[in-house]
């Protein structure tokens, strides 16, 4: 079973379509780690697409904020403006679907899905220390997380914690990671719609655990098209500009 892992799509339909076009024929089931909406100009299109595409999907903090499950007092003014705009673009039906998304951790097809940290869906996992809890406590040796928008992850073996720097080069579409049976992993597919690891290409992962492989993908997309839709919608300029830098 090859699993397509999507995260932090953030209402960027152009990036999602570009990613799906490159992944065609390479996966059997799709899952999503949350933050379907927020920041980007296409919340309805992206929500519809994800709803019809994925087998399992957990919620992210932006999904909670847009549906009112979480208040936005911790959000910066720019993110909050995007949340308020997003809410107005979604039908009651899509808002209901977003509001009903389960909280991670969620086990599916032999992997575990979380949005942020293993024990706290809203916590960021940037450092080995922050990843340790998930590496030790997860019910599966391979756990996928999002939220940071940084592709990569961590491996644990024999009391050693390793930071995994797996990034496809500018001329490559993906870089494979070999999954060693005795190790435990916390892996981040990166963000489809708003990468923050200095590579503006849309990122995702494809896991094929029967063949001991996870592929980390980067797919270029037409960023300018998304930026002009964002400007037309009146979304905050810092959100528009960061897409081209991947920051
Ligand atoms: Zn996010």
Q: 182 CA to middle of ligand 1, Å?
A: 31
142, 111 contact by CB (below 8 A): yes
Q: 209 CA to middle of ligand 1, Å?
A: 26
Q: 36 CA to middle of ligand 1, Å?
A: 8
Assign 228 to helix, strand or coil: helix
pLDDT at 72: 85
Q: 190 CA to middle of ligand 1, Å?
A: 10
Q: 105 CA to middle of ligand 1, Å?
A: 16
pLDDT at 122: 95
Quickly name the fold that domain 2-241 has.
Purple Acid Phosphatase; chain A, domain 2 (3.60.21)
176, 169 contact by CB (below 8 A): no
Q: 26 CA to middle of ligand 1, Å?
A: 25
Q: 207 CA to middle of ligand 1, Å?
A: 21
List the shell of residues around ion ligand 1, using CB closer than 5 Å: 8, 35
Q: How far apart are CA 197 and CA 190, in angstroms?
A: 8
pLDDT at 117: 97
Q: How far apart are CA 65 and CA 60, in angstroms?
A: 9
Q: 38 CA to middle of ligand 1, Å?
A: 8
Q: 20 CA to middle of ligand 1, Å?
A: 19
Q: How far is CA 19 from CA 69, 89, 161, 222, 236, in A?
A: 29, 23, 31, 11, 25
pLDDT at 73: 83
Give φ, ψ of 56 to 5 degrees. Answer: -135, 140
The domain spans of the chain are: 2-241
Assign 179 to helix, strand or coil: coil
Tens-binned pLDDT, residue by residue, of the chain (247 aa): 999 999 999 999 999 999 999 999 999 999 999 999 999 999 999 999 999 999 999 999 999 999 999 988 888 999 888 999 999 999 999 999 999 999 999 999 999 999 999 999 999 999 999 999 999 999 999 999 999 999 999 999 999 999 998 889 999 999 999 999 999 999 999 999 999 999 999 999 999 999 999 999 999 999 999 999 999 999 999 999 999 999 9
In this prediction the pTM is 0.97
Backbone CA torsion sign across 144, 150, 152, 155: negative
Q: 158 CA to middle of ligand 1, Å?
A: 32
Q: Which residues contact 61 (CB under 8 A, 6 or more apart)?
A: 34, 35, 70, 115, 116, 121, 122, 147
């Amino acid at each position: 079973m090859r699993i397509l892992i999507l995260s932090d799509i953030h209402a960027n339909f152009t990036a999602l379509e570009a990613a799906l076009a490159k992944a065609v024929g390479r996966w059997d089931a799709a899952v999503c780690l949350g933050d379907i909406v927020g920041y980007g100009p296409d919340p309805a299109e992206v929500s519809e697409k994800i709803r019809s595409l994925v087998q399992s999907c957990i919620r992210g903090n932006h999904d909670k904020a847009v549906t009112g499950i979480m208040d936005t007092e911790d959000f910066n003014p720019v993110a909050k403006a995007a949340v308020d705009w997003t809410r107005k673009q979604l039908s009651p039906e899509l808002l209901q679907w977003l509001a009903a998304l389960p909280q991670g951790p969620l086990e599916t097809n032999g992997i575990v899905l979380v949005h942020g940290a293993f024990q706290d869906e809203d916590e960021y996992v940037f450092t080995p220390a922050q990843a340790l809890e998930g590496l030790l406590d997860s019910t599966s040796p391979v756990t996928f997380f999002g939220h940071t928008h940084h592709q990569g992850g961590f491996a644990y073996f024999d009391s050693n914690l390793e930071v995994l720097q797996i990034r496809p080069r500018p001329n490559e579409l993906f870089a494979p990671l070999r999954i060693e049976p005795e190790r435990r992993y916390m892996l981040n597919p990166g963000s489809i719609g708003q990468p923050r690891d200095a590579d503006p290409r849309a990122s995702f992962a494809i896991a094929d655990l029967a063949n001991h492989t996870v592929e980390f993908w980067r797919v270029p997309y037409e960023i300018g098209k998304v930026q002009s839709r964002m400007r037309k919608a009146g979304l905050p300029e810092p959100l528009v500009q960061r897409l081209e830098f991947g920051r």
